Amino acid sequence: MPKKNAKYWLVKSEPESYSIDDLARDESTAWTGVRNYQARNFMRDEMQVGDPVLYYHSGGAEPGLVGLAKVSRAAYPDPTQFEKKSKYYDPKATHDEPRWVLVDLAFEKKFDAPLPLKELKQHEELEGMPLLQRGQRLSVQPVSAEHFKFIEKLAKAAAKR
DNA sequence: GCCAACGTTGGC
DNA sequence: GCCAACGTTGGC
Protein backbone atom coordinates (compact mmCIF):
# COMPACT_ATOMS: atom_id res chain seq x y z
CA MET A 1 0.00 0.00 0.00
CA PRO A 2 1.16 3.55 -0.69
CA LYS A 3 2.30 5.81 2.09
CA LYS A 4 -0.36 7.88 3.77
CA ASN A 5 0.91 11.11 2.29
CA ALA A 6 1.34 9.63 -1.17
CA LYS A 7 0.01 11.53 -4.11
CA TYR A 8 -1.47 9.83 -7.09
CA TRP A 9 -0.51 10.45 -10.70
CA LEU A 10 -1.23 9.57 -14.24
CA VAL A 11 1.21 9.45 -17.13
CA LYS A 12 0.41 9.18 -20.79
CA SER A 13 2.39 7.37 -23.38
CA GLU A 14 1.83 6.33 -26.92
CA PRO A 15 2.07 2.55 -26.92
CA GLU A 16 4.02 2.65 -30.20
CA SER A 17 6.77 4.61 -28.53
CA TYR A 18 6.72 3.15 -25.02
CA SER A 19 3.96 0.85 -23.83
CA ILE A 20 3.14 -0.74 -20.50
CA ASP A 21 4.69 -3.92 -21.89
CA ASP A 22 7.93 -2.07 -22.53
CA LEU A 23 7.86 -0.89 -18.93
CA ALA A 24 7.14 -4.43 -17.69
CA ARG A 25 10.11 -5.70 -19.68
CA ASP A 26 12.44 -2.93 -18.46
CA GLU A 27 11.06 -3.03 -14.90
CA SER A 28 11.81 0.67 -14.59
CA THR A 29 12.57 3.56 -16.85
CA ALA A 30 13.61 7.21 -16.86
CA TRP A 31 10.59 9.20 -18.01
CA THR A 32 12.45 11.29 -20.57
CA GLY A 33 11.14 13.90 -22.92
CA VAL A 34 8.56 15.82 -20.92
CA ARG A 35 8.77 19.36 -22.34
CA ASN A 36 5.84 21.03 -20.71
CA TYR A 37 6.36 23.32 -17.73
CA GLN A 38 3.28 22.27 -15.82
CA ALA A 39 4.14 18.60 -16.16
CA ARG A 40 7.73 19.34 -15.22
CA ASN A 41 6.66 21.20 -12.11
CA PHE A 42 4.59 18.26 -10.93
CA MET A 43 7.60 16.01 -11.29
CA ARG A 44 10.02 18.49 -9.77
CA ASP A 45 7.92 19.68 -6.85
CA GLU A 46 5.47 16.99 -5.93
CA MET A 47 6.26 13.50 -7.12
CA GLN A 48 7.77 11.35 -4.40
CA VAL A 49 9.31 7.92 -4.40
CA GLY A 50 6.54 5.39 -3.89
CA ASP A 51 3.73 7.48 -5.34
CA PRO A 52 1.36 5.32 -7.43
CA VAL A 53 1.06 6.21 -11.10
CA LEU A 54 -1.69 5.19 -13.49
CA TYR A 55 -0.38 4.31 -16.93
CA TYR A 56 -2.38 5.58 -19.88
CA HIS A 57 -2.05 4.66 -23.52
CA SER A 58 -2.92 7.54 -25.81
CA GLY A 59 -3.57 7.38 -29.53
CA GLY A 60 -4.30 4.07 -31.20
CA ALA A 61 -7.63 2.39 -31.56
CA GLU A 62 -8.57 2.36 -27.92
CA PRO A 63 -7.01 4.91 -25.64
CA GLY A 64 -7.28 4.02 -21.97
CA LEU A 65 -5.68 3.07 -18.69
CA VAL A 66 -3.65 -0.09 -18.95
CA GLY A 67 -1.77 -0.53 -15.71
CA LEU A 68 0.02 0.80 -12.71
CA ALA A 69 3.52 2.03 -12.01
CA LYS A 70 5.16 3.84 -9.16
CA VAL A 71 7.72 6.56 -8.77
CA SER A 72 11.06 4.89 -8.09
CA ARG A 73 13.34 7.93 -8.16
CA ALA A 74 12.52 11.56 -7.45
CA ALA A 75 13.19 14.37 -9.90
CA TYR A 76 16.61 14.85 -11.50
CA PRO A 77 17.72 16.55 -14.72
CA ASP A 78 16.54 14.92 -17.93
CA PRO A 79 19.79 13.94 -19.72
CA THR A 80 18.18 14.17 -23.15
CA GLN A 81 18.02 17.97 -22.93
CA PHE A 82 21.83 18.03 -23.27
CA GLU A 83 22.08 15.56 -26.14
CA LYS A 84 22.40 17.40 -29.40
CA LYS A 85 21.18 14.44 -31.37
CA SER A 86 18.12 13.85 -29.25
CA LYS A 87 14.80 15.12 -30.42
CA TYR A 88 14.42 16.37 -26.87
CA TYR A 89 17.57 18.48 -27.08
CA ASP A 90 17.12 21.97 -25.65
CA PRO A 91 19.84 24.45 -26.63
CA LYS A 92 18.87 26.74 -23.77
CA ALA A 93 19.45 24.13 -21.09
CA THR A 94 22.82 23.94 -19.38
CA HIS A 95 24.24 21.55 -16.81
CA ASP A 96 24.38 24.40 -14.33
CA GLU A 97 20.83 25.38 -15.04
CA PRO A 98 18.95 22.42 -16.41
CA ARG A 99 15.51 23.28 -17.65
CA TRP A 100 13.88 19.86 -17.67
CA VAL A 101 13.66 17.15 -15.08
CA LEU A 102 12.27 13.67 -14.98
CA VAL A 103 11.49 10.90 -12.52
CA ASP A 104 12.05 7.18 -12.78
CA LEU A 105 9.00 4.95 -12.97
CA ALA A 106 8.93 1.30 -11.95
CA PHE A 107 6.52 -1.26 -13.32
CA GLU A 108 3.87 -2.33 -10.86
CA LYS A 109 1.22 -4.21 -12.78
CA LYS A 110 -0.65 -4.43 -16.00
CA PHE A 111 -4.42 -4.48 -15.72
CA ASP A 112 -5.97 -7.80 -16.76
CA ALA A 113 -8.25 -5.75 -18.95
CA PRO A 114 -7.66 -2.15 -20.01
CA LEU A 115 -10.07 0.58 -18.97
CA PRO A 116 -10.97 2.44 -22.15
CA LEU A 117 -11.32 6.19 -22.04
CA LYS A 118 -14.88 6.02 -23.28
CA GLU A 119 -15.81 3.79 -20.32
CA LEU A 120 -14.13 6.08 -17.83
CA LYS A 121 -16.20 8.94 -19.15
CA GLN A 122 -19.38 7.10 -18.25
CA HIS A 123 -18.70 7.01 -14.51
CA GLU A 124 -19.96 10.04 -12.72
CA GLU A 125 -17.62 9.15 -9.84
CA LEU A 126 -14.78 10.28 -12.09
CA GLU A 127 -16.29 13.63 -12.90
CA GLY A 128 -13.70 16.39 -12.79
CA MET A 129 -10.79 14.06 -13.40
CA PRO A 130 -8.25 16.03 -15.46
CA LEU A 131 -7.81 13.21 -17.96
CA LEU A 132 -11.46 13.48 -18.95
CA GLN A 133 -11.48 17.22 -19.47
CA ARG A 134 -11.87 18.42 -22.99
CA GLY A 135 -8.69 19.50 -24.69
CA GLN A 136 -6.59 18.22 -21.82
CA ARG A 137 -3.09 17.41 -23.01
CA LEU A 138 -0.86 17.18 -19.96
CA SER A 139 1.27 14.05 -20.11
CA VAL A 140 1.89 14.02 -16.36
CA GLN A 141 -1.06 14.90 -14.21
CA PRO A 142 -2.34 14.46 -10.66
CA VAL A 143 -5.15 12.09 -9.74
CA SER A 144 -7.21 12.52 -6.59
CA ALA A 145 -7.19 9.71 -4.02
CA GLU A 146 -10.91 9.21 -4.58
CA HIS A 147 -10.54 8.87 -8.32
CA PHE A 148 -7.56 6.60 -7.92
CA LYS A 149 -9.39 4.25 -5.59
CA PHE A 150 -12.43 4.14 -7.81
CA ILE A 151 -10.24 3.26 -10.79
CA GLU A 152 -8.62 0.45 -8.83
CA LYS A 153 -12.10 -0.95 -8.21
CA LEU A 154 -12.97 -0.64 -11.88
CA ALA A 155 -9.80 -2.47 -12.83
CA LYS A 156 -10.65 -5.36 -10.50
CA ALA A 157 -14.20 -5.54 -11.79
CA ALA A 158 -13.04 -5.42 -15.40
CA ALA A 159 -10.68 -8.33 -14.78
CA LYS A 160 -13.60 -10.52 -13.73
CA ARG A 161 -15.70 -9.90 -16.79
C1' DG B 1 3.14 42.96 -22.90
C1' DC B 2 0.00 41.81 -26.72
C1' DC B 3 -1.37 38.65 -30.00
C1' DA B 4 -1.06 36.20 -34.46
C1' DA B 5 1.21 32.36 -36.29
C1' DC B 6 2.74 28.09 -35.69
C1' DG B 7 3.51 23.43 -33.72
C1' DT B 8 1.91 19.58 -30.99
C1' DT B 9 -1.30 16.58 -28.73
C1' DG B 10 -4.68 13.37 -29.01
C1' DG B 11 -9.61 11.94 -29.71
C1' DC B 12 -12.36 10.67 -33.29
C1' DG C 1 -6.50 12.38 -41.94
C1' DC C 2 -9.12 16.00 -39.63
C1' DC C 3 -9.54 19.32 -36.36
C1' DA C 4 -10.14 21.39 -31.64
C1' DA C 5 -7.51 22.80 -27.85
C1' DC C 6 -3.71 24.58 -26.08
C1' DG C 7 1.34 25.97 -25.41
C1' DT C 8 5.15 28.47 -27.32
C1' DT C 9 7.44 31.75 -30.20
C1' DG C 10 8.54 36.01 -32.02
C1' DG C 11 7.40 40.52 -34.23
C1' DC C 12 5.94 44.76 -32.88
In contact, A18 and A114? CB cutoff 8 Å: no
Give the nucleotide with minimal C1' distance to the Cα of A40: C7
Q: Return the exposure string of A33-44: e unless at least 16 CB atoms fall within 10 Å of the residue's CB, then b.
A: bbbeeebbebbb
Give the nucleotide with minimal C1' distance to the Cα of A56: B10
> Residue A63, SS3?
coil
In contact, A139 and A34? CB cutoff 8 Å: yes
Residue among A118, A107, A18 at smallest CA distance from A65 = A118
Positions on chain C within 7 A of a protein C-beta: 4-8
Interatomic CA–C1' length for residue A133 and nucleotide C7, angstroms? 17
Q: Could you list the pLDDT tens digit for every one of the 161 residues in chain A?
A: 555 578 999 999 999 999 999 999 999 999 999 999 999 999 999 999 999 999 999 988 899 999 999 999 999 999 999 998 888 999 888 888 899 999 999 999 999 999 999 999 999 999 999 999 988 899 999 999 999 999 999 999 988 77
This prediction has a pTM of: 0.93
